[in-house]
């Protein structure tokens, strides 16, 4: 495989890239972001992207924000279906692989050096224990990395749809405001683009602030500028709730190797994730506080991590797993152009 088409489809958005390999190095030849649209529009946008490059035999791999079932993957938010067979037939790919977006993210994180991360919570962790990858992308994603027979394997999870656990009065008020008309509030209902926007509207109504911000991007921008107390509170609640979710995930998966926070929305919330209150929330586990005391939590800031994970999944589909991770051992001296694939 010399060229590979990779794509990511999360919620209403998608991006696609053509990557090329030479001596184990990955080069991004071109990439594009677009609104996903319906099935026909999605296919047309892929075709338009590929038209910008000379024809060649290529494999393809797509990361999808939802569960993967064989040759199909369904977007959780609106039941849009990505079909591997249809993509292969319509675009002439020699093969098409589908992966859950956070499975691809978790695999890709193993190839990212230390400088691709910022530290949210210090800790040495257990180098042989599981690692959880969590974060808001469109919804709230989660995957588990587990070392099996000497290789790191990534496992899909729908943990973001677990029942939300409110841990302070602001979160309790948000839970109460979201509950009418539903019988189940999930972590994703709070830690997502829509969740942050909903939190802003709830807190604005409570404080008498006029709710004029329309979407996640506007809420985060207003919060960073200090222009809206309700926006600040919504982002703080999302960040602290993500820490709660990450701590719960460590306990459920027995993951003492670390937490990787990933996803486009997580990067946007970075200033709030680096607040000391987030670490306190992550560490406070009642009788299990000592269990998580040395678990590190890192924010992944490399947009190409998904591409790296998909590329590995294609190239080592039969062998599976990742033999060694780029971090933390020796990662301080690693380069962003370090070899993508390791033996």
CA–CA separation, 123 and 110 (whole Å): 18
Q: What's the average model confidence in pLDDT over 177-189? A: 94
Pair (7, 61) in one structural domain: yes
Q: Are 260 and 109 in contact (CB under 8 A)?
A: yes
In angstroms, the first-to-last Cα distance of the chain is: 16
DSSP 163: B
pTM across the whole model: 0.89
> Considering the domain boundaries, does residue 76 fall inside one?
yes
The pLDDT of residue 315 is above 90 = no
Pair (173, 228) in one structural domain: yes
Tally of CB atoms within 10 A around 53: 13
Residue 321 has a pLDDT of: 67
Structural domain count, the chain = 2
The pLDDT of residue 53 is above 60 = yes
The pLDDT of residue 181 is above 50 = yes
Report residue 277's pLDDT band, with 50, 70 and 90 as the boundaries: very high
Pair (295, 308) in one structural domain: no
Pair (102, 45) in one structural domain: yes
> Considering the domain boundaries, does residue 334 fall inside one?
no
Task: Please choose, from the candidates 244, 250, 253, the residue with its C-alpha nearest in 3D space to the C-alpha of residue 273.
Answer: 244
Pair (123, 215) in one structural domain: yes
Q: What's the average model confidence in pLDDT over 165-170? A: 96
Task: Please choose, from the candidates 333, 292, 291, 288, the residue with its C-alpha nearest in 3D space to the C-alpha of residue 122.
Answer: 292
How, if at all, do strands 131-136 and 258-261 pair? parallel
Report residue 316's pLDDT band, with 50, 70 and 90 as the boundaries: confident
Give the position of tokens 């230390």. 114
The pLDDT of residue 1 is above 70 = no
Q: What is the mean pLDDT of the chain?
A: 90
Query: Domain span at residue 22?
Result: 3-108+303-321
């Amino acid at each position: 495989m010399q060229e590979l088409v990779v794509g990511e489809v999360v919620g209403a958005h998608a991006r696609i890239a053509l990557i090329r390999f030479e001596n184990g190095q990955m080069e991004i030849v071109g990439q594009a972001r677009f609104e996903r649209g319906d099935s026909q529009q999605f296919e047309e946008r892929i075709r338009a992207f590929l038209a910008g490059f000379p024809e060649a035999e290529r494999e393809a791999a797509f990361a999808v924000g939802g569960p993967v079932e064989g040759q199909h993957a369904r977007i959780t938010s609106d039941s849009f279906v990505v079909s591997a067979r249809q993509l292969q037939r319509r675009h002439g790919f020699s093969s098409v692989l589908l992966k859950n977006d956070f499975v691809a993210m978790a695999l890709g994180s193993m190839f990212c050096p230390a400088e691709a991360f910022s530290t949210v919570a210090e800790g040495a962790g257990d180098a042989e224990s599981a690692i959880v990858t969590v974060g808001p992308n469109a919804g709230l994603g989660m995957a588990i990395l587990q070392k099996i027979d000497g290789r790191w394997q990534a496992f899909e999870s729908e943990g973001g749809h677990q029942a939300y656990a409110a841990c302070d009065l602001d979160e309790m008020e948000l839970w109460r405001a979201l509950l009418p008309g539903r019988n189940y509030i999930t972590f994703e209902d709070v830690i997502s683009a829509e969740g942050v926007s909903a939190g802003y509207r709830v807190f604005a109504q409570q404080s008498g602030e006029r709710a004029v911000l329309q979407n996640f991007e506007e809420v985060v921008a207003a919060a960073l500028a200090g222009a809206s107390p309700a926006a600040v509170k919504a982002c703080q609640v999302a960040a602290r709730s993500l820490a709660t979710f990450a701590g719960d995930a460590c306990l459920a998966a027995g993951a003492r190797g670390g937490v990787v926070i990933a996803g486009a929305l997580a990067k946007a919330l970075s200033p709030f994730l680096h607040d000391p209150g987030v670490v306190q929330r992550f560490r406070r586990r009642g009788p299990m506080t000592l269990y998580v005391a040395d678990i590190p939590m890192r924010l992944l800031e490399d947009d190409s991590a998904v591409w790296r994970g998909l590329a590995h999944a294609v190239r080592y589909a039969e062998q599976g797993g990742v033999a060694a991770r780029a971090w933390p051992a020796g990662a301080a001296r690693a380069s962003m152009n370090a070899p993508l694939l390791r033996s």
